[in-house]
Amino acid sequence: MIEILTTGLPNTVQDLGRPGHLALGVSHGGAMDKQALAIANLMLGNDPSAGGIEVALHPFRLRAHIDTAVAITGADCAVSIGDRPCPPWWAMTIRAGETLVLEAPRAGARSYIAFAGGIDLPPVMGSRATDVKGGFGGFAGRGLSRGDRLALKPAQCRLPAGGIGAALEERRGAADALASAIELRVLPAAEFDAFTPEAQAAFTGSEWRITNDANRMGYRLAGETLSLLSPLELLSHGIVPGTVQVPPSGQPIIQLADANTCGGYPKIATVIEADLWRLAQAPVGARLRFSAVSIEASTEALRANRQQSHDFIAARNLMAGEQRAP
Amino acid sequence: MVVGTPHISLAGSGALLLDGMQGAFNDATQELVWAVANAALSLEGVREAVPGMNNLLVVFDPLATDAHSVGDQLMSLWSATDAHPVTGTHHTIPVHYGGARGEDLTGWAAHCGLSVDETVRRHAAARYTVAAIGAMPGFPYLSGLDPLLAWARRSTPRLKVAEGAVIIGGAQAGIMPMTAPSGWHIIGHTDVKLFKAEAELPVLLRPGDKIRFAIAGIEA
């Protein structure tokens, strides 16, 4: 069991989400940076979809009440376990009574904590992800509070002394989000042609800032005003995470993991799935720049993204095999 | 049945939005949306089919199939699928109209140029169809509102509309399955629960279901 010592309500139990229920109005949800949580789980020998904690508000502290192992990925923040510092993207043992501390990120926005075996909560509609809007899943359908105690599934996890780490090529250089604009690849969406040529040019040609109105449902952006050629009345339609809507204010909204499943605003573009983690790690105030890609390039990026998890599993299995050898 | 050629657009590399809209919302088009949604779930690589209002979002794995192939198949389904009217379940929803939990009732009646009683009578006399479920878990988009009762949405949405609120927005009617923001007008409330996450069937209403509102009380 673990006990939450310092937290904020935006911190929630998440897994890889509950796809398959959009037609019931239920969002995909799950970790905003799914790759980070998946890799954290894989480092501990868990299924990549095991339940962990998404930390969106730092600092965060928890105490272990049993000997176990944790992996911390996502944002680049100072981490300590007991009196030992823990490098970024690292898995280490934690003993009963020790405290895990995640300080405010130097770069990035969301940290992920996986536990050997995963958090033991009953899946709701196939997932342990917290759906805050619907008030279900995760821990009592809400964000974590001080004093909450979470059970862990029993697990056998042997880590080398000092732990193990993961390094992902594409995460390098993505570190300092505030120094330069974050590049997001987009595909044009249904109403792209309904915007003025000036709006189309400004969308990819100018920078956007993430406003304070940014959470798991979506980010409101500030920048140039995007205008339609003529007013448009749309009937409600299904939308996916990554959809960039433009309400009458002309300031875009990017819909994310916990977005409503249907919307009615005109859609100028969709951020490709392989780049959604970049948004998850973009803090309030970060600048964004959109660049159009082909559908082939978008699919290729997704393929490369998934291949990384496969490569990681293969590498880990190889290492585990070598450890067992006489 | 005569329906036009739909417009298909990309919603990222893993989804397509088929828009069958021919101007205003049309019940015949909606029946085709439901039928094509069912059929689309059998297509290779397709993961989800999400009926909207006269449109359909189809989510697929772009590494198992591709947008061109899914798009072509959706076009074929749209022209070849028979839209049998769905024989959905009939539900009667008791409504307490007006009062503190139906604060827009008198404003709504005034907007319609009708008495409160006549507005309520018309709302309860109509037969509604669940066109789609979406936005939030279990929220029904209901068609069938008496055109005299239509009222454009609020210019500023309320940040909290309570679970059970019976609402109207434009030419549509709805019921809030949970407390959430909404720009629709609140005309009453019901105690019927539309969403229970832990239940075997978490959502009470399905596309094609028929709804009738019963007057449980009027408080002007």
- Please say if the pLDDT value at position B22 is more than 70: no
Q: Report if residue B116 sits inside a domain.
A: yes
CB atoms within 10 A of CB A292: 14
Does residue B115 lie within any of the structural domains? yes
What gap in Å lies between CA A95 and CA B53, rounded to an integer? 54
Domain annotation covers residue B1: no
Q: Within an 8 Å CB–CB cutoff, is residue A302 touching chain B?
A: yes
B132 and B45, same structural domain? no
pLDDT in tens, A310-319: 888 888 777 7
Nearest to A142 by CA among A213, A32, A81, A216: A216
Give kind and range of the element (H or E) at residue A308. Answer: helix A295-324
Q: What is the pLDDT of residues A145-201, one digit of tens each?
A: 999 999 999 998 888 888 989 888 778 765 555 678 999 999 999 999 999 999 999
Q: Which among A235, A236, A302 has the least Cβ separation from residue B13?
A: A302
Residues B126 and B181 in one domain: yes
Domain for residue B170, yes or no?
yes
Partner-chain contact A238 B21, CB within 8 Å: no
Pairing of strands A208-214, B140-143: unpaired
Q: What's the CATH code of the domain at B59?
A: 3.30.1360.40
- Sorted by where each starts, the structural domains of chain A and their CATH numbers stand as 2-171 (no CATH), 182-293 (2.40.100.10)
Q: Largest Cα–Cα distance in chain A? A: 73
Among residues B54, B80, B106, which one ends one of the domains?
Answer: B80
User: Looking at the complex, does the CB of residue A131 fall below 8 Å from at least one CB of chain B?
Assistant: yes
Whether the CB of B55 is below 8 Å from some CB of chain A: the reply is: yes
B62 and B31: one domain?
A: yes
B97/A contact by beta carbon, under 8 A: no
Flag if B139 and A187 touch (Cβ within 8 Å): no
Which CATH number fits the domain that encloses residue B155?
Answer: 2.40.100.10
The verdict on B144 and B210 lying in the same domain is yes
Task: Locate B100 and state its tokens.
Answer: 């503190």
Q: Does residue B101 share a domain with residue B189?
A: yes
B159: contact with A, CB 8 A cutoff: no
Query: Span B95-105, mean pLDDT?
Result: 97
| Residues B71, B16 within the same domain | yes
pLDDT averaged over every residue in chain A: 93
The total number of structural domains in chain B stands at 2
The verdict on a CB contact (< 8 Å) between A237 and B135 is no
| One domain for residues B70 and B150 | no
Tell me how far apart the alpha carbons of residues B139 and A105 are, in angstroms, rounded to a whole number: 38
pLDDT at B101 (0 to 100): 96
Q: Which of B51, B80, B109 is the last residue of a domain?
A: B80
* In a domain? residue B48: yes
Chain B CB contacts of A215 under 8 Å are: none
| A chain contacts of residue B14, beta-carbon cutoff 8 Å | 240, 273, 302
Q: Are residues B155 and B209 in the same domain?
A: yes
Residue A120 to residue A122: CA distance in whole angstroms: 7
Q: Contact at 8 Å (CB) between B116 and B106?
A: yes
Vertex B145 angle, CA B184 and B49, to 5°: 75
Asked if A156 contacts A166 with a C-beta cutoff of 8 angstroms, the reply is no
Domain that holds residue B116: 90-219
pLDDT in tens, A212-267: 999 999 999 999 999 999 988 888 999 999 999 999 899 999 999 999 999 989 99
Do B161 and B95 fall within a single domain? Answer: yes
- Residue B2 domain-assigned (yes or no): no
Residue corresponding to tokens 């450890």: A323
Per-residue pLDDT, averaged over A27-48, amounts to 95
Helix axes B67-80, B27-40, angle to 10 degrees: 130
Report chain B residues whose CB lies below 8 A from the CB of A242. Answer: 12
Q: Tell me the percentage of chain B whose pLDDT exceeds 70.
A: 98
**Domain-embedded: residue B85:** no
The owner of tokens 């619907």 is: A134
Q: Check pLDDT > 80 for residue A91.
A: yes
Min CA distance, A135 vs chain B (Å)? 9
Determine what percent of chain B falls in helix, strand and coil, rounding each to the nearest 5.
Answer: 20, 35, 45
Interchain contact, B49 vs A235, CB within 8 Å: no
Note whether B78 contacts A: Cβ–Cβ < 8 A. Answer: no
> In chain A, whose CA is at the least distance from the CA of B61?
A299
Is B10 in CB contact (< 8 Å) with chain A? yes
DSSP string, A204-247: HHS-EEEEEEESSSEEEEESSPP-BSS------EE--TTEEE--
Taking CA atoms, B80 is separated from A252, B6, B39, B54, B207, in Å, by 38, 13, 11, 17, 21
Query: B57 and B23: one domain?
Result: yes
Last residue of a domain, one of B52, B80, B108: B80
Best residue in B26, B50, B196 for a mutation probing chain A (most A CBs within 10 Å): B50
Q: B137 and B34 in one domain?
A: no
Question: Contact A269/A255 with Cβ under 8 angstroms?
Answer: no
Q: Identify whether residues B65 and B97 lie together within a single domain.
A: no
Tell me if B96 is assigned to some domain.
yes
Per-residue confidence (pLDDT) for residue A326, from 0 to 100: 42
CB–CB of A298 and B13 under 8 A? yes
Query: What is the reported pLDDT for B209?
Result: 96
Residue in B closest to A271 by C-alpha: B12
Residue B205's SS3 state is coil
β-sheet bridge partners, residue B168: B173, B185
